[in-house]
Amino acid sequence: MTMGPLLMGLYVFILASFVGFEMITKVPPTLHTPLMSGANAISGITIVGAFAAATTAQPTVANILGAIAVCTATINVVGGFLVTDRMLRMFGSKKKRK
Amino acid sequence: MTSDALQHTVAPLVYIASTVLFILGIKDLAKVRTARRGNAVAALGMLLAIVGALLELGLIDYRWIIGGVIVGTIIGAVFAIRVEMTAMPEMVALFNGFGGLASALVGVSVFWLDIEQAHPTTSVADTMGGAQAITVALSIIVGSVTFTGSLVALLKLQGRLKKGQPILLPSRHVINVALAVAAVVLSVWLYRAGADTAWIPCILLAVVSLVLGVLLTIPIGGADMPVVVSLLNSYSGIAASMAGFVIGNVLLIVAGAMVGAAGLILTQIMCVAMNRSLLNVLIGGFGATEASGESGGSSEYKNVKSCGPEEAAMVLETAESVIIVPGYGLAVAQAQHATREFATELEKRGTKVRYAIHPVAGRMPGHMNVLLAEADVPYEQLVEMDLINGDFADTDVSIILGANDVVNPVANKDPSSPIYGMPILNAYESQSVFVVKRSLSPGYAGIKNELFEYPNTMMIFGDAKDVLQSLIAEVKAL
């Protein structure tokens, strides 16, 4: 059986969705906000696409848009993981003291 | 190693490792004990993904990429380090918007490179491939809706947009359906367009989607913003996934789809907690009809009793058990540390103190848990709604700190109320109830709270932090 790239992509998309559903069904409410924030940081994976769109330093429309995308995706990634860590650090410090 | 091997063998292997780290990271994030490690594992996965991307790109001009990364890192880090814990929902909404914008820009950029800058003689679909042309349109639509939707959610959470109340345009459903149809028509146009005119549907599609994001979010009331932020989080994942289809990268498809599914599940959990269907939330306008009927006098309060901190302290002196019900007012007043101090003071006198956490208290699920954890409130004192609701009847004093709709007994009793059927914390069953609140103004649902009129209820008017500090002083003086 051979599959075109679109079918292959769809296949992976659907399987990954199921993985996502399964992982999130069992989460204590305490972690909902950090989890939302952490998942949000992962959605910044679009940074890889942004890289692919900014591969030269010529001021063409495609490159300028790509560079802006790199910047906003980086904000999503760096900010997302840092802020999640800040939240979770608070849960952590309490554990140690007990 | 040749650069070809790096691009076609090593880079995909690095991507696979990155995918595994994302899955392990999310799994760990879902458990209290391992959550922090999970976040670090996911961040490591992201770092690997970036390394893989650089390997795959090979020898290119990196100057603009590096520039974008540096600027983005500074902005993201400054936001993340300076934001108050209380403003966390706004922060997530903002980051979410940036992610959506990035995905939309990737779609437009690839389109521009392949069509506008290459000047092909064939149509868009023939030049890019049909699948890619469709996913370019999808990434523009989903990314743009995520971007403007998140910005509107941010403004609503900050109370800047009509104080978070729903904004209802006349015939808004017709407008939204028309815009959605327009998006489909423009996508088809983009797909079939020749290279010389294809920029027209591309730009129009972006504009229509940006407007759609605004219009879909403004009719939704501030109380429903947690659901919206969660749903937009799901969208940003789907947008990333679509960008993955555009550039033909499986890692983006997988990671985006996982985030999309996660956001959807969280959204569902929140809807269940409010006893609303997702459709009902998204149609919006919740609370607006009630607000227009408010002049009828039904929202006038009668027989409301209020007292000062001294009287409250006297009641607390004899209380054996106290349940604190935190809400968004606590977040606004930054009163989490004062709350903890107050609870410690009561505990010193032998009072049993617990916190009742409603699933949608605050502006996001778990919002109160994060705030109270910041103030070092012991984890086991935070009790979920279902576990504590049976205990209110045996409780001497309930203290409502800036919560409103989640303790409104009307949800249990009045079928005509818009919040009828929403599970609430049965604080009204306890012997005495103190409500710390700045005024009698309604909560985000925009309705009157009958609890304030109950004979066992006392209002303590004021900012939560100020009131708690006076209470601490009074309790110490006992």
CATH number of the domain bearing residue B454: 3.40.50.1220
Q: How far apart (Å, rounded) are the C-alpha atoms in residues B350 and B344?
A: 10
Distance from CA of B16 to the nearest CA of A (A): 13
User: Which chain A residues contact residue B249 at CB under 8 A?
Assistant: 48-49, 52
Same domain, B68 and B121: no
Distance from CA of B171 to the nearest CA of A (A): 33
A90 within domain boundaries: yes
A3 within domain boundaries: no
Nearest to B65 among A6, A19, A54 (CB): A54
User: Which chain A residues contact residue B23 at CB under 8 A?
Assistant: 19, 23
Q: Which residues of B349-374 are buried (b: 16+ CB within 10 A; e: fewer)?
A: eebebbbbbbbbbbbbbbbbbbbbbb
C-alpha to C-alpha distances, B346 to B97, B342, B418, B475, nearest whole angstrom = 43, 6, 37, 8
Nearest to A62 among B96, B117, B229 (CB): B117
A60 within domain boundaries: yes
Task: Give residue A97's pLDDT band: very low, low, confident or very high (50, 70, 90).
Answer: very low
User: Which chain A residues contact residue B384 at CB under 8 A?
Assistant: 29
Rg (CA), chain A: 18
Nearest to A53 among B45, B106, B269 (CB): B106
B262, amino acid identity:
A
Same domain, B399 and B272: no
B465 within domain boundaries: yes
Query: Could you tell me which residues come within 8 angstroms of residue B273 by beta carbon, excluding any fewer than 6 positions away?
Result: B358, B359, B360, B365, B423
Same domain, B245 and B104: yes
pLDDT the model gives residue B274: 65
Q: How many CB atoms lie within 10 A of CB B413?
A: 10
Give the three-state DSSP class for B65. helix
**Looking at the 3D structure of chain B, how many domains does it have?**
3
Same domain, B270 and B349: no
A48 within domain boundaries: yes
Mean pLDDT of the A70-84 span? 95
Distance from CA of A36 to the nearest CA of B (A): 7
A31 and B376 in contact by Cβ < 8 A?
no
User: Which chain A residues contact residue B71 at CB under 8 A?
Assistant: 71, 74
B288 within domain boundaries: no
Count of alpha carbons within 13 angstroms of residue A64, beta-carbon side: 4
Interface of A with B in 2-41 (CB under 8 A): 4-6, 8-9, 12-14, 16-21, 23-41
Question: Best of A15, A43, A94 to disrupt the B interface by mutation (most B CBs within 10 Å)?
Answer: A43
pLDDT the model gives residue A96: 43
pLDDT the model gives residue A98: 37
**Looking at the 3D structure of chain A, how many domains does it have?**
1
Among all residues of B, which ones are annotated catalytic?
405
Kindly tell me the sign of the dihedral angle through the C-alpha atoms of B193, B196, B198, B200. Answer: negative
Same domain, B246 and B313: no
A33 and B370 in contact by Cβ < 8 A?
yes
Q: How many CB atoms lie within 10 A of CB B6?
A: 15
Nearest to A40 among B33, B99, B382 (CB): B99
B91 φ/ψ angles, rounded to the nearest 5 degrees: -65, -45
B267, amino acid identity:
T
B468, amino acid identity:
L
Q: Which of A27-36, A79-88, B464-473 has the lowest mean pLDDT?
A: A27-36
Distance from CA of A3 to the nearest CA of B (A): 13
Nearest to A32 among B38, B101, B266 (CB): B266
User: Which chain B residues contact residue A43 at CB under 8 A?
Assistant: 96, 99, 233, 236-237, 239-240, 255-256, 259
A18 and B22 in contact by Cβ < 8 A?
no
Burial class (CB in 10 A: 0-12, 13-18, 19+), B296: exposed
A29 and B365 in contact by Cβ < 8 A?
yes
B259 and A39 in contact by Cβ < 8 A?
yes
What length is written for chain A?
98
A24 within domain boundaries: no
Q: How far apart (Å, rounded) are the C-alpha atoms in residues B279 and B209?
A: 20
Could you list the pLDDT tens digit for every one of the 478 residues in chain B?
A: 677 888 888 999 999 999 999 999 988 888 878 889 999 999 999 999 999 999 998 888 888 999 999 999 999 999 999 988 778 888 999 999 999 999 999 999 999 998 888 888 888 888 888 888 899 999 999 999 999 999 999 998 887 776 667 777 778 788 989 999 999 999 999 988 888 888 999 999 999 999 999 999 988 877 677 788 889 999 999 999 999 999 989 999 999 999 999 888 878 877 776 667 788 777 766 544 444 333 333 456 777 888 888 888 888 888 889 999 998 888 888 888 999 999 999 998 889 999 999 887 877 777 888 888 888 888 888 888 888 998 998 899 999 998 888 898 888 888 877 777 788 899 999 988 999 988 887 776 677 888 888 888 888 888 888 899 999 998 888 7
pLDDT the model gives residue B286: 57
B164 Rama sector, left if φ>0, alpha if ψ -120 to 50, beta otherwise = left
pLDDT the model gives residue B294: 37
Residue A2 has pLDDT above 70, yes or no: no
A89 within domain boundaries: yes
C-alpha to C-alpha distances, B394 to B12, B223, B248, B321, B343, nearest whole angstrom = 61, 30, 61, 8, 19
Interface of A with B in 47-86 (CB under 8 A): 47-57, 60-63, 65-86
Average pLDDT, chain A: 84
User: B87 and chain A: CB distance < 8 Å anywhere?
Assistant: no
B326 within domain boundaries: yes
Q: What is the ipTM of this complex?
A: 0.92
Helix axes B250-273, B35-57, angle to 10 degrees: 150
What length is written for chain B?
478
Beta bridge partners of B326: B401
Distance from CA of B294 to the nearest CA of A (A): 34
- Nearest chain A alpha carbon to B384: A29
A55 within domain boundaries: yes
Same domain, B330 and B186: no
Q: How many CB atoms lie within 10 A of CB B119?
A: 8
The beta strand positions in B265-378, using DSSP E, are 321-326, 352-357
A29 and B359 in contact by Cβ < 8 A?
yes
Instruction: State the pTM of this model.
Output: 0.79
Q: How far apart (Å, rounded) are the C-alpha atoms in residues B42 and B49?
A: 10
B80 and A73 in contact by Cβ < 8 A?
no
B290 within domain boundaries: no
Structure tokens at B423: 């599970």
Same domain, B315 and B205: no
User: Which chain B residues contact residue A97 at CB under 8 A?
Assistant: 376
Same domain, B135 and B172: yes
B292 within domain boundaries: no
pLDDT the model gives residue B253: 95
pLDDT the model gives residue B295: 34
Q: What is the extent of the structural domain holding B225?
A: 86-283
Same domain, B155 and B225: yes
Q: What is the extent of the structural domain holding A93?
A: 29-97
C-alpha to C-alpha distances, A44 to A58, B135, B213, B241, B420, nearest whole angstrom = 25, 18, 19, 10, 39
B48 within domain boundaries: yes
